[in-house]
């Protein structure tokens, strides 16, 4: 009976010593909290998405250039006249 109580007390102290051996400093605890906090990660990604949206919105202020060139060759006078009319040269 005494041996059983001694083993029980010894195992309790053994488990307590293991439990208290994993102590963290304040810096380590804060670092772990930042790494494991899913809400913080979600907010960081939301901030990154908003920054990228802002950058893409800046593109709306940049000028847009569109170039178009056509070529036509004809000997018919009516077509020549209509082509010049479309170009605004007459």
The predicted-structure confidence for 15-36, as pLDDT tens digits, reads as follows 655 555 567 788 988 888 888 8
77, 83, 84, 88 alpha-carbon torsion, rounded to 10°: 160
Q: What are the φ/ψ torsions at residue 78 (nearest 5 degrees)?
A: -65, -40
Q: Which residues of the chain have pLDDT under 70?
A: 7, 10, 13-22, 88-90
The verdict on residue 46 lying in a domain is yes
The verdict on residue 15 lying in a domain is no
- pTM of the full structure: 0.40
- Residue 62: CA atoms inside 13 Å, Cβ hemisphere, count? 7
For residues 52 and 50, what is the distance between their CA atoms, to the nearest angstrom? 5
Domain count, the chain: 1
The verdict on residue 10 lying in a domain is no
Pair 69, 61: CB distance under 8 Å? no
The verdict on residue 9 lying in a domain is no
For residue 37, what pLDDT is reported? 87
The verdict on residue 7 lying in a domain is no
The verdict on residue 76 lying in a domain is yes
């Amino acid at each position: 009976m005494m041996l059983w109580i001694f083993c029980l007390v010894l195992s309790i102290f053994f488990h307590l010593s293991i439990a208290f051996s994993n102590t963290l400093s304040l810096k380590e605890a804060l670092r772990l909290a930042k790494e494991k906090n899913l809400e913080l990660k979600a907010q960081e990604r939301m901030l990154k998405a908003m920054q990228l949206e802002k950058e893409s919105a800046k593109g709306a202020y940049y000028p847009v250039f569109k170039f178009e060139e056509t070529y036509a060759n004809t000997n018919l006078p009516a077509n020549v006249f209509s082509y010049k009319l479309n170009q605004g040269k007459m």
